[in-house]
Amino acid sequence: MIKENVARILKDIPKTVELVGAAKTRSSSEMLEALEGGLHIIGHNYVKEAELAFQAIGDRAKWHMIGHLQSNKAKKAVALFDMIETVDSFKLAKAIDKASLKHAKSMPILIEINSAEEGQKPGVLPINTISLVEKISQLKNIKIMGLMTMGPATSNQEDCRPYFSRVCRLFEELKRKDNKAFEMRYLSMGMSSSYQVAIEEGANIIRLGTKLFGPRAQIKTGV
């Protein structure tokens, strides 16, 4: 069923949109089935969980960090992931930059925006996004490749549209700066309940979990 779900989504979305399988709590067999359906990118919320999955799957997939990353996990994250989508502070960026230097790696990152300005959610506020991008772009061992947002938690994807639109406007504003120190290539927005609106508003990365894997079991997990 997972294989068929992935194939159906890939058929339905534009070829320019990259699909990330949000694999929190999913087994390696579920992830492998998704890869058989055509998935190329696995997204994880937790470093520890991703390490276990990587042992089973390895470089058969690209790996994206899509959950909040603590600075003290940056070293492990840099070693494991191909992209970190959730950088929302200069402190975290510096930790990633330091770890990347040790790994002789230029780490692709996205800047996470708290588009709905919700107090308990991670992400830089929209008003502070451009200044943070310009500050982080001065670091030598990471490469800003675009923006990411979650949007508000809602069952009606239309409620997400103004927030996705807001981030897209920031994305386009940064792109117009034509600053060689950063690149606005990827706009990561939309999950299982909101990806269609996200694509309409300019997303070229979507992060789907239940739409691919089915309902998530209530399993406690850790960082």
pLDDT of residue 218: 56
Sign of the C-alpha dihedral computed for residues 32, 24, 143 and 77 taken in this order: negative
Please, are residues 112 and 124 in contact by the beta-carbon 8 Å criterion?
yes
For 107, the token pair is 């780490």
Three-class secondary structure of residue 55 per DSSP: helix
Mean of pLDDT values over 29-57: 97
CA nearest 112: which of 81, 87, 89? 87
For 2-213, give the CATH class.
alpha beta
pLDDT digits over 56-73, tens only?
Answer: 999 999 999 999 999 999
pLDDT digits over 144-199, tens only?
Answer: 999 999 988 887 889 999 999 999 999 999 999 989 999 999 999 999 999 999 99
pLDDT of residue 16: 97
Question: Has this prediction a pTM greater than 0.85?
Answer: yes
pLDDT of residue 219: 47
Domain-wise residue ranges, the chain:
2-213
Please, are residues 39 and 61 in contact by the beta-carbon 8 Å criterion?
yes
> Residue 1: which pLDDT band, with cuts at 50, 70 and 90?
very high
Three-class secondary structure of residue 37 per DSSP: coil
pLDDT digits over 118-137, tens only?
Answer: 888 899 999 999 999 999 99
